[in-house]
Amino acid sequence: MTKLLEVQNLKTYFFTDRGVATAVDDVSFSLDAGKTLCIVGESGCGKSVTALSIMRLIPEPPGRIVGGRIFFEGTDLLTLSENRMRSIRGNKISMIFQEPMTSLNPVFRVGDQIAEVLELHENMKGPEAMDRAVELLRMVGIPSPESRIKDYPHQMSGGMRQRVMIAMALACNPKLIIADEPTTALDVTIQAQILELMDELSRTTGTAILLITHDLGVVAETAQHVVVMYAGRVVEEAPVKQLFHDPLHPYTRGLMRSIPSMSDDQRRRLEAIPGVVPSLLALPVGCKFNDRCRHAFDRCRAEEPPLTAPKDGHSVRCWLFH
């Protein structure tokens, strides 16, 4: 069966005066229709650049997709003209950004902004599009949607603005929604509501979700499959239950040790991963995690390990498993 989304050996680099930043380097993964895949990692690991590459929204210059293929419903998105790609964005593939205040236009009412999507992609006229906008706001749990469509973004709370973004993303019944840190700016109660809403919409509409996050708690609650990224590379990939039960890569284990658990011994201290993600302009030789890894040995500092599958359906990029 053809995968809904298949990313093969994607490479996205940024060419700057200081050198070439390998933001995404040889990244591959796939996503089935109706499923949720999470890409997880620290800030600067390449998660958002991967999402923007799929949408072909990398700013050129300085960025450029220099290699790989991105298949959506069997068609390589990188071969399409800009006009054809524009017809797919917001229609078959929608994106929810991290901060709705920078994504929603502050001088237009939210109803007009949702209606514009419907007029552009669904050929709806003004009153019909506005009626559909009300339906969408009701679907995402906004109370009194008939009056709320007249609000400007600043008149809504952060949680409501994010619901508006989800309503816009759902407007054209997309096959795929890419959600880039959709709950980061929200408090935990609203975060839980938004994640529950996205999960419910995925189950009822059959929409696949590519969720980008740094929060392993979000991963555990929402995904069926997880890709862990570090310094622009995939370092581990597995079904979510398998990853949490048996994390292989030292980086993934470090992420696990840095989050609290209800089942932990209360005396166990949370552990931080030492150091920071290296600059993409000056990556270490060998394994990109070697300068932060407690298990690193000579080969780790000399050669970069390939991504291999020591367990069925579970891949890892680490010399400990060779």
Average pLDDT, the chain: 88
Most confident among 124-138, 181-195, 236-250, 260-274 (mean pLDDT)? 236-250
Q: What is the rounded distance in angstroms from the CA atom of residue 296 to the CA atom of residue 318?
A: 10
Q: What is the DSSP letter of 71?
A: E
Least confident of 10-24, 41-55, 116-130, 239-253: 116-130
CATH number of 5-92+175-321: 3.40.50.300
Binning the chain into helix, strand and coil, the percentages to the nearest 5 are: 35, 25, 40
Q: pLDDT tens across 53-82, in order?
A: 999 999 988 999 999 999 999 999 999 999
Q: pLDDT tens across 223-278, in order?
A: 899 999 999 999 999 999 999 999 999 999 998 887 776 665 555 677 788 888 88
- CA distances, 99 to each of 165, 188, 199, 212 (Å): 10, 16, 20, 13
pLDDT given for residue 320 in this prediction: 92
The model's confidence at residue 205, banded by pLDDT at 50, 70 and 90, is confident
Percentage, residues of the chain above pLDDT 70: 96
Enumerate the domain spans of the chain: 5-92+175-321, 103-171
pLDDT given for residue 262 in this prediction: 60
